Amino acid sequence: MFHYFEDKEFLNKAYSFCADIVNQTKMLLQKEDIDVEMFIQGSKRRNMVTQNEEEPIDFDFDLFIKSCPDIYNCHAIKEAVRKCFNQVLQSKDLPDCEDSRSVLSSKEMWNDEDEQTLFSIDLAITTRFPNENFCRLIHEKTGIISFDRWLWNEVPDSLEMYQRVEDLKQEGSWQDVRECYLEKKNFYLTRNDQDHPSFICFNEAVNEVFYHYHN
């Protein structure tokens, strides 16, 4: 089951290493005329890094697409991100990433000062169209790549997510969000549900707590 990982010294060092990789990926994408912002979703930024028992810690990053030559060519966007991400990983003598349905995942890494605690990067690709909810880039796999689909998948009720985060913090309800987020991570874990990554769990937790206090 998931729990919050509290070793802040380790988290700061591991996060700094991962953030540097993602930031270099961002800079390479800019050379491809893909303008992105980097976010750490739910976890390190808000003291919400989780670990499933003794498994590796996942640092969940978003690359938010601000502009690109063709925002609807999802296959080309994900391939560009994958190529740039791998280029940075290779420069650090790390293996290429894995392409799952909703994220690109690095292989497990470790800190030379603590080789027992492994960590990795989960890199999601997101965007938001004017006056619409956030969208995740999804790779629907069929087993035959010529039949695969790449598409923007809307995240329900996410348009005001970050404003609700600020409202809940100011109202002193943030601990409720932390508890709800952990519950949702474990809820989907027990059901072996692979379609609710951290971005979705975080959005659901924020909305659930927000609606509880703003009926």
Domain enclosing residue 84, as ranges:
2-157
| Dihedral Cα 11, 15, 16, 18, nearest 10 deg | 150
In a domain, 70, yes or no: yes
- In whole angstroms, give the CA distance from residue 196 to residue 48: 16
Residue 125 domain flag: yes
Q: Within a domain: residue 9?
A: yes
**pLDDT tens track for 94-106:** 999 999 999 999 9
Domain presence at residue 203: no
Structural domain includes residue 195: no
How many whole angstroms separate alpha carbon 60 and alpha carbon 40?
6
Please state the domain count of the chain.
1
Q: Each residue of 160-196: pLDDT tens digit?
A: 998 999 999 999 999 999 999 999 999 999 999 878 8
Q: What local confidence, expressed as pLDDT, does residue 116 receive?
A: 77
The answer to whether residue 48 is domain-embedded is yes
Which phi and psi (to 5°) does residue 90 adopt? -65, -35
What CATH code is carried by the domain that includes residue 61? 3.30.460.90
